[in-house]
Structure 1
């Protein structure tokens, strides 16, 4: 390392020594991340070395064996499993306060309610003991602690732990923002879900789970309604002793920026758009060459996590995330859990059906899952078989619908969209109840016009700009 880098790191260490809000583990993890970032260790991807993974590496879901239906065998299998939901995100983009997982999704139930119901029904059905872990951030910790109290009488053991809390770096001199007088929450950040592995270890939860005989952890985003426990996947991993599995699914034009799996120098690894040289970005986005993308549903062997964290071997690519707070340019260094795939032995991808990827990132996604496209049973969101098209309709809602409260107020009831291909809404549009939308529908209110679509209306493949068009 050049002297300047050594100087920067040692100045940083001195500054961190005075911050008592975080643990020694967090301080050393942060210093290691910054030192790696400064050393410029990242090796660019050599495009010519990228190979398409074979079916041995990215296993087609329909080739997985169906596990035994014997309840005792299933119980044994499930007793090796832990479910972990990434619960560090706030619902701010959808206009909500608190953890995103407490947004109501359907029938008055939140993401968290649905997750708990799903695991409750597994534990009851097979008399097994699948615990639920929630990885919070310092942003969601306090609220989540209060929320999980309502599940006190549930048949699930629920554990919560926090991912690391790192100080934002002031770009100008690479010093921690809290040392510059930014003592509130704005001085800190959670360093991405790649932190799940060290955070599991540092919280003591990893050793606790291993002592209970747990072998695999299923990690998924709390807002992905398709990320449910799958016995075929769990059984396959245990039989083949795969230490890590990433669920991937076929790309559509909506997913062109998602990371993909490649074979590179004899190992499977995740390729993210940020790693792609500029001249190959269009090729990366094409769905001809890179046909799959990462759903962030991950299955990982617990002993392997312990081995790699203890050896400090999980050096995932660093994602620099620049921000501006109160006019000060700051930097967050983050990592992603999917990038850890290359460090595990016998790691694979499984090419799963699209139904296992149903994230709710915006109110347009909420419209899909609240509509007649889906029903709810035991906490599981099940797609309506009456929809023959495998793809969901594409839905684009204007800024008037961005916040959940505004979205809900503009729909008396969610329209029927079984036969809808696409919907685009913008301007001051209001929907009555029992509306049916089919084909390609655009409701684009002219400036200054309040466009109200009346109750019971059926609209098929047309554009509506004013009440006269209905």
Structure 2
């Protein structure tokens, strides 16, 4: 690298740090001024009829239009998370999940399939955090011969704040100590994408919409009918579409769409006053939740960033560091910007578009015979007697991926499983079949081994024993 190139790199770094500091200062000032809940519960209204459309009412995309539609799309995957919740190190996106493929592999293959089939060039952009950027950069060489243009940009890096003094702790524990810093939530995408220059680059290339989703949501594939609705809408197309789906008892903490003072707004559980949390979590009033699959107009995004009309509620996330220090992180959610866009709306999509892998219990479902892999996407088996996925709860012995894999000789047949709870020291042999409701609980100091070929249907197993086949 020449001296002038090094100087330019240094100047760009300094400029990025300056922008990050300005963004942090703005958020911190708002935090000091906006203490308390930002929601007046009495002002929440049910959604207007035109605020939510059922996916089944969308017209099918015309096969002859698909290349034109895809030529106007950018896919963004939120790649800032680590795999620590499943006992892994490094980016969550590089965990192997099915047929020796990682989350990132599957996302790349899904877009490559579209590019090859329709002769288009849908680019993939990864929003990395400072925690995941270096490790993600290292594996990019494996995609050098793939028919997908992959770009990357980084989230901001904000200082954690001491809960008692409200001072940045990075000054106390050392500037380079990673514990002093955090990525400020996926709501940072608007400014970081703009600051990276990629927003202008894609607009100049003729791109009109970006599809944003979590990289660990394997149901979040490019949907041609939604894209067709956005680009071939005879009325004014919405600048922002949030995919929502019907809430179940497993989704009671998920954010929901509300009508608030005449505008669509994302309501997160952190914003709900304590006396209304039960009402928020009940299925009766708030029947849908946010999948975090979002379709955003690029020109609209550029406008609200430049005109400084972007507004997202601040989420105060308390943490306790390894050294015992109590800190807070000020974060924002990408979906909270819905109120800043013109003509925003929700689309109630099938549950199949929400297939996140947050814990090893989710991994069990994904790795099972319930799903097959095709063109970068997961397809639920037609042999599944009902469309919903089973509710699986695995105890602390299964939390880490390596322990999870050790406890299953092979992944059980769960095609007819409705509910599974496993607690304690439990192992599964080969070719085990689980059906209906199965509860297996090994008491402390005891062990349960499910032998090869066992079939458990509507069974409760406790104690210290092995199940024998008859």
TM-score range, shorter chain: over 0.9
TM-score, structure 2 as length reference: 0.93
Secondary structure of residue in 2 paired with 1:35: helix
Rate the CA distance shift 1:21–1:302 in 2: closer, same or farther, 3 A: closer
- Superposed CA deviations along residues 155-176 of structure 1, whole A, max 9, x for unmatched, are 1100011000111122333222
Secondary structure of residue in 2 paired with 1:56: helix
Contact 2:449-2:467 within 8 A present in 1 as well = no
Counterpart CA distance in 1 for 2:238 and 2:16 is: 35
- Superposed CA deviations along residues 160-197 of structure 1, whole A, max 9, x for unmatched, are 11000111122333222221133311111000000000
Partner of 2:147: 155
Counterpart CA distance in 2 for 1:444 and 1:272 is: 34
1:133 partnered with 2:128: no
Contact 2:71-2:120 within 8 A present in 1 as well = yes
1:233 partnered with 2:231: no
How far did 1:43 drift? 6.6
1:407 partnered with 2:404: yes
1:118 to 100, 103, 110: 110
Secondary structure of residue in 1 paired with 2:342: coil
How far did 1:324 drift? 2.4
Counterpart CA distance in 2 for 1:439 and 1:329 is: 44
Secondary structure of residue in 1 paired with 2:310: coil
1:315-326 equivalence runs, <5 A: 315-325=311-321, 326=323
Counterpart CA distance in 2 for 1:438 and 1:40 is: 51
Counterpart CA distance in 1 for 2:157 and 2:126 is: 16
1:67-78 equivalence runs, <5 A: 67-70=61-64, 73-78=65-70
How far did 1:55 drift? 3.5
Contact 2:451-2:466 within 8 A present in 1 as well = no
Counterpart CA distance in 2 for 1:117 and 1:175 is: 45
- Superposed CA deviations along residues 238-273 of structure 1, whole A, max 9, x for unmatched, are 224210000000000110111111112211111111
Counterpart CA distance in 2 for 1:30 and 1:255 is: 31
Rate the CA distance shift 1:128–1:185 in 2: closer, same or farther, 3 A: same
1:180 partnered with 2:177: no
- Superposed CA deviations along residues 198-248 of structure 1, whole A, max 9, x for unmatched, are 000111111111111111000000000000000111111222421000000
TM-score, structure 1 as length reference: 0.93
1:98 partnered with 2:90: yes
Partner of 2:28: 34
Counterpart CA distance in 1 for 2:107 and 2:137 is: 16
How far did 1:396 drift? 0.8
Bigger shift: residues 233-242 or 346-355: 233-242
Contact 2:450-2:467 within 8 A present in 1 as well = no
Aligned-residue RMSD, C-alpha:
1.5
Counterpart CA distance in 1 for 2:279 and 2:87 is: 36
How far did 1:329 drift? 2.2
1:332 partnered with 2:332: no
Partner of 1:243: 239
- Superposed CA deviations along residues 332-354 of structure 1, whole A, max 9, x for unmatched, are 10000110000100001000000
Contact 2:449-2:466 within 8 A present in 1 as well = no
How far did 1:28 drift? 0.3
Counterpart CA distance in 1 for 2:240 and 2:121 is: 22
Counterpart CA distance in 1 for 2:125 and 2:259 is: 32
Partner of 1:309: 305
Bigger shift: residues 128-137 or 263-272: 263-272
1:467 partnered with 2:459: no
Bigger shift: residues 77-86 or 326-335: 326-335
Rate the CA distance shift 1:174–1:279 in 2: closer, same or farther, 3 A: closer
Counterpart CA distance in 2 for 1:42 and 1:399 is: 35
1:342 partnered with 2:336: no
1:388 partnered with 2:385: yes
Counterpart CA distance in 1 for 2:201 and 2:282 is: 44
Contact 1:242-1:348 within 8 A present in 2 as well = yes
Rate the CA distance shift 1:439–1:202 in 2: closer, same or farther, 3 A: same
1:50-65 equivalence runs, <5 A: 50-65=44-59
1:170 partnered with 2:162: yes
Aligned residue-pair number: 450
1:456 partnered with 2:453: yes
Partner of 1:11: none
Secondary structure of residue in 1 paired with 2:116: helix
Counterpart CA distance in 2 for 1:453 and 1:189 is: 43
Counterpart CA distance in 1 for 2:316 and 2:444 is: 40
1:355 to 352, 356, 359: 352
Counterpart CA distance in 1 for 2:68 and 2:263 is: 31
How far did 1:87 drift? 0.2
How far did 1:390 drift? 2.1
Secondary structure of residue in 1 paired with 2:63: coil
How far did 1:388 drift? 2.0
